[in-house]
Amino acid sequence: MTVLRARELYRFYRAGDEETLALRGVSLAVPGGKLVTVAGPSGSGKSTLLACLAGLDEPDGGSVYVRDIRISHRPEHERSALRARHIGTLFQSANLLEHLTVRRNLELSSGSSGPATAPVPGPASTPCSMRWA
């Protein structure tokens, strides 16, 4: 079963007259139980992609689905409820507890550590996990 799916993701940043196309039509499908890494040179869009996949950022185009539930293009409170239920996010620093295993850190940062505080669209399911700098 596909637990994470992205279709034709686009993300632009604009600073003054300068426009950066950080994501240009990225599509992917991650099957359950698979470990997937995202690799590429600095500035190639890895952090932008992971932020869009986790619902922390909104793509300018395209869609993200977690277990067939669309997480993109929703109000922030709905995205955060979906994140709490389905997605564990470990940043490279700041929010890791050293005495816990990676699995336990992920459980704590995902909905599996407790009930969501807001109504969650879609059915309950196993969280997926992400880690990035």
- Contact residues toward Mg ion (CB under 5 A) are 46-47
- Closest approach, Cβ 39 to Mg ion, in A, equals 11
DSSP annotation of 111 reads G
Q: Which helix (H) or strand (E) holds 107?
A: helix 102-109
Q: What is the DSSP letter of 48?
A: H
Nearer to Mg ion, 42 or 101 (CB): 42
Q: Which stretch binds ligand ATP (CB under 6 A): 39-47, 78-86, 98-106, 109-117?
A: 39-47
Which residue in the shown chain puts its C-beta closest to Mg ion?
47
Rg of the chain in Å (alpha carbons)? 15
Question: Residue 90 in contact with residue 96, Cβ under 8 Å?
Answer: yes
List phi, psi (to 5°) of 28: -160, 160
Of 25, 31, 32, 43, the one binding ligand ATP by CB under 6 A = 43
20 binds, options ligand ATP, Mg ion, none, Cβ within 5 to 8 A by partner type: ligand ATP
